[in-house]
Structure 1
Amino acid sequence: MSGQAGARYGQIVGELRRRIETGELAPGDRVPSTREITRQWGVAMATATKVLTELRREGLVRAVPGVGTVVETPSRPVRGARPAAVPRTGGLSGAGPAGLTLGRIVAAAVVVADEEGLAAVSMRRVAAELGVATMSLYRHVADKDDLLTRMMDVVIGADPLPADPPAGWRDTVELAARRLWGLFRRHAWLAPAMSMTRPQVIASALPYSEWILSALHAHGLDLHTAFTAHLTLLNYARGMAVNLESEREAEAHSGLDGEEWMDAQEPALLAVLASGRFPSVSRLTEAGYDFDLDALFEFGLQRLLDGLAPLLDEPSAG
């Protein structure tokens, strides 16, 4: 770490430590994620990661799967006193080699992926999160691919489908597709981790396949065609969702959110449109377009379902 980066690292650690010690950030409160740190303080992702690692080392914060990094609850709170540094056990207390479990490893990996993105997940990074030697992880997971499969299984299984599907095929497929989209929304790394050409065996994802196959088959589709429709819907949702992770990476590296980036491109776009060769695009630009990924997903989902409707024994909703 360069001298300037090291100084910024120290400042950020000191500021977050101060907020925790003064109670501005109370036990259980979520602290800024690595992405938020990069935006707020204008530092690289590596520096932001080191900030949270140091706060975990000092015992000030801990990682909570599905939530992020939160302020640790001190065992003996002392007003105004800085918590003493503890051994490097990372965000999951008691996760030393003797207490290392598969569940702790997967939970730590999910936290890393949620906060820092899929590219940050490695055996070395997860071991650092837990405060253990990298090789100790291999007693529980075969390799990174095995770890990713288990991560996907955990996050999908954490939000199961209802016990009973809706009555109609369209309501059933809509519910499954929207639940899957919600999972992709909460875990931006999930879509790019999921392979269509070399599908991983994810037990918690099989209910989605069963739901859609059963619904479509019961309303007139043979199982092969129903499975083709299922894959089409799945890849549509996944294809939309891969934009979430790429946008998060772009935002972390540029320091600009999507709207700010689009504003920065406006002069170049207007210069091209000044030629008059693209009147429709020009009119749309003048009127304004509210880009909403959720709305795009819903629009495409309905059109896909309208396309399936003629193959089934129910008419199109459109």
Structure 2
Amino acid sequence: MAPPSDPPFRRIADEIARRIAEGSLAPGERVPSTRQIAREWGVALATATKALTVLRLEGLVEARPRVGTVVAAKDRPAPARHRVPPERRTPSTAHSDQELSRARIVRAATDIADSEGLTAVSMRSVAARLGVAAMSPYRHVAGKDDLVLLMADAAFGEETYPAEPPEGWRARLELGARTLWRIHRRHPWLAQVGSLTRPLMLPALMTHAEWALAALDGRGLDPQTMLDLHVLLYSYIHGIAVHMEREAQAEAATGLSEDQWMDHQAPAFAAITAATGHPVFTRVTSSVKGGYDLDLDTLFEFGLKPLLDGIAIIIESPPPRRATP
């Protein structure tokens, strides 16, 4: 056990390390998230983040996108134990401050968002992840709002398009849609940033818009219709992707996986259908072998084809041209 003089984040890290050593947390199993640590130990999110950072530096845990922080494999070499005195800059942290850059801050914030969700990102939690003084990131980024925009721009910029586009508008739109879906799958928090009516002014996102609009260009469509189709396709991807982060938040809050939550709802579902009837709904849902399995990747692929079929009808029979305001 850590001595009482140790800072809270060190005591929390040692307790989780003890659980790992005793086998109560097995390799690959999720460790408590920052929110769970904050609730269990009654500490701030920044303290919880620092505890997980210490465990990661010691090689005991690792962050996995869309999963969270998990116990590292046993055969992974463990670095020397790190001890960072509370709220004090040592020569090593001062050295880290000197090496700090906007790119490092954005990468660290993205790692936190990928594993813990966007709400876990703060300037303080990023500083803790990087092992620098709490105020150091402000020398490179104005605040969390600016940081989130930088994260989103970097995420959308991870994928590029071929110099020679595929033949035909449909193949081009398919490629664009699947590219954006892949980015959202890699970074589920992206769908929580901005809204459809207030689009993000990001250079990297504009690249995806240019790709889609160029696919529709020269098809006899007026500018308004082209923009409507582009927004419709983007909103389809965004609308499904938004549920990835919400599911992760719900699992963190309830401690139940999607399947476990559905199992808990079975009595309520049976009571509602018995009391109110809904014969078609009851018949359809009960007829699916093994129960209806809602998989977002499958749903995305399933819906993309009819959406493009609808766009094909508009392209083949363009509506009357609308005057541009």
TM over 0.5: yes
C-alpha contact 1:65 1:110 (8 A) present in aligned 2: no
TM-score by structure 1 length?
Answer: 0.77
| Residue 314 of structure 2 corresponds to residue 311 of structure 1 | yes
C-alpha contact 2:68 2:116 (8 A) present in aligned 1: no
Relative to 1, partners in 2 of residues 1:219 and 1:267: Cα closer, same or farther, differing over 3 Å?
same
Q: Distance in 1 between matches of 2:143 and 2:273?
A: 51
C-alpha contact 1:95 1:104 (8 A) present in aligned 2: no
Q: Distance in 2 between matches of 1:285 and 1:164?
A: 45
Runs of 5+ consecutive residues of structure 2 not aligned to the other structure: 1-8, 41-47, 319-325
Counterpart of 2:223 in structure 1 is: 223
C-alpha contact 2:61 2:69 (8 A) present in aligned 1: yes
**Aligned-residue offset at 1:51:** 4.3
Which of 13, 35, 38 is 2:17 aligned to? 13
Counterpart of 2:54 in structure 1 is: 54
- Could you say what the CA RMSD is over the residues aligned between the two structures, in angstroms? 3.7
C-alpha contact 1:109 1:126 (8 A) present in aligned 2: yes
Q: Distance in 2 between matches of 1:193 and 1:38?
A: 25
1:199-229, CA deviations, whole angstroms, 9 ceiling, x for partnerless residues?
A: 2222122221111111111222223321221
Runs of 5+ consecutive residues of structure 1 not aligned to the other structure: 26-30, 73-78
Q: Distance in 1 between matches of 2:228 and 2:286?
A: 41
Counterpart of 1:183 in structure 2 is: 183
**Aligned-residue offset at 1:196:** 2.2
**Aligned-residue offset at 1:12:** 2.1
TM-score by structure 2 length?
Answer: 0.76
Relative to 1, partners in 2 of residues 1:174 and 1:275: Cα closer, same or farther, differing over 3 Å?
same
C-alpha contact 1:213 1:223 (8 A) present in aligned 2: no
Relative to 1, partners in 2 of residues 1:207 and 1:95: Cα closer, same or farther, differing over 3 Å?
farther
Which of 31, 44, 59 is 2:36 aligned to? 44
Q: Distance in 2 between matches of 1:182 and 1:285?
A: 30
SS at match of 1:163: coil
1:58-107, CA deviations, whole angstroms, 9 ceiling, x for partnerless residues?
A: 576677999987999xxxxxx9x982435479xxx997211111111000
The more displaced of 189-198 and 98-107 is 189-198
Q: Distance in 1 between matches of 2:128 and 2:201?
A: 27
C-alpha contact 2:65 2:186 (8 A) present in aligned 1: no
Q: How many residues align?
A: 288
The more displaced of 179-188 and 272-281 is 272-281
**Aligned-residue offset at 1:295:** 2.2
